[in-house]
Amino acid sequence: MKNGLILYRSKYGATRKYAQWLKEATAFDCIETKKADAKTVQGYDTIVLMGGVYAGGIAGLDFLKKNWALVKGKRILLFAVGASPYDEKAITEGMQRTLKGDLAGLPCFYGRGMWDLENMHFGDRALCKMLLKATAKQDPATFEPWQAALAGMKPGETADWTDKAYLEPLLAALC
């Protein structure tokens, strides 16, 4: 593997967990995007940006956009982390909506994260509660995979779906 850097943004810990696992598997340097600056990316051939999926976007993409002039010649891979189960169609559509302009076509991988409604920030918790209510009113036969997973969560239930196996496609792409 080439000289690589893992940049990540994690709100609730799942992305941080994946970043640490990737660091162990690759020996890449690893840093949170909020601690990184333009100089951070210099000297690296490969950059893996890892971030949670929030409201359809990937946390941390703003770092790439802001520093595009410095990273555009490097190998860039993305790893999105979300509470939804893996669904190829949903992920492809989400990436097409999210990765526009310079970011279009970047390879993106997905890992399932965690769910802990009570420990979410107010805005995230309010949005999830709204989605839970809307999903409860819908016919289960019409659910998208993320809605079925959401409907399956019981009040107060927490879940950790993180799994090193989600990193395997990313690791294969890095070789």
Query: Cα 27–3–53 angle (5° rounding)?
Result: 70
Judging by DSSP bridges, how do beta strands 114-116 and 158-160 pair with one another? antiparallel
CA angle 155, 86, 163 (to 5 degrees): 80
Mean pLDDT, residues 113-138 taken together: 82
pLDDT for 112: 92
Kindly report the average pLDDT of the chain as a whole number: 88
Distance CA 50, CA 158 (A): 22
pLDDT at residue 1 greater than cutoff 60: no
Give 173's pLDDT tier (boundaries 50, 70, 90): very high
pLDDT digits (tens, 9 = 90+) for 34-47: 999 888 888 899 99
Residue 16 contacts by C-beta under 8 Å, 6 or more apart in sequence?
8, 10
Could you tell me where the DSSP H helices lie in the chain? 14-26, 61-66, 68-71, 88-98, 122-136, 145-151, 168-174
Are 80 and 91 spatial neighbours (Cβ–Cβ below 8 Å)?
Answer: yes
96 Cβ neighbours under 8 A, 6+ residues apart: none
Paired with 108 in beta bridges are 78
Q: Which residue has the higher pLDDT, 29 or 116?
A: 29
